[in-house]
A and B are shown apart, each in its own frame.
Chain A
């Protein structure tokens, strides 16, 4: 069975500091992995996805994530936080075919301090 664990329901960083949001997954088959972002009162939108090509995936707004099979991790990073990055971030895992098999983590809310 697939599952996703996001470490830390809340993360607070200062503007300009490194953003690191942690995600660990379990999957019985090679997974497809996603990070979605949700701004207040909006739906989710895709930040980036891993689909078995390059292990370092670059997304929108300067975010990137690295797939580490040995650690079953897919952590999201951004070198320098901006106030506009304040949002909730969701890690998700899918077997690939059939989006209905996508499992979402509980989410991590990112706060950015001026």
Chain B
């Protein structure tokens, strides 16, 4: 199993450009998440999807949109990138089941907005 995969690994954007970060998991998990990681701030939840067909805002949703394309895939879109969105983005998934609350993370996408 590949686990959680993310593309691209690196991206540089100019202010105002748009892009979509892709995420896929092959563990048949119901829940998927997008986080951003900034130095000294831990991980902050951008959006999550508790199950296929549903999405909800997390702690820092402004400037982002998401799509839960199917059970496997959960994409994050930046419509008009800003320098404040320079960060490392992680996708994660989890199975809401008996004692299975831990999250499985992808390798991350390093985004720089100039």
Chain A residues packing against B (C-beta within 8 Å) = 4, 9, 32, 34, 36, 41-46, 49, 51, 90, 94, 96-100, 102, 104-107
Of the residues A41, A44, A97, contact of B90 by C-beta under 8 Å: A44
| Contact residues in B for A34 (Cβ distance below 8 Å) | 102
Interface size on B, residues (CB 8 A): 26
Contact status B99-A99, CB under 8 Å: no
The answer, yes or no, to whether B4 is at the interface (CB within 8 Å) is yes
Min Cβ gap B91→A in Å is: 9
CB distance from A67 to the nearest CB of B (A): 15
Contact yes or no, A51 B58, CB < 8 A? no
- Chain B residues with Cβ under 8 A from A49's Cβ? 101-102
Answer yes or no: B75 CB below 8 A from chain A CBs: no
| Closest A residue, CB atoms, query B41 | A106
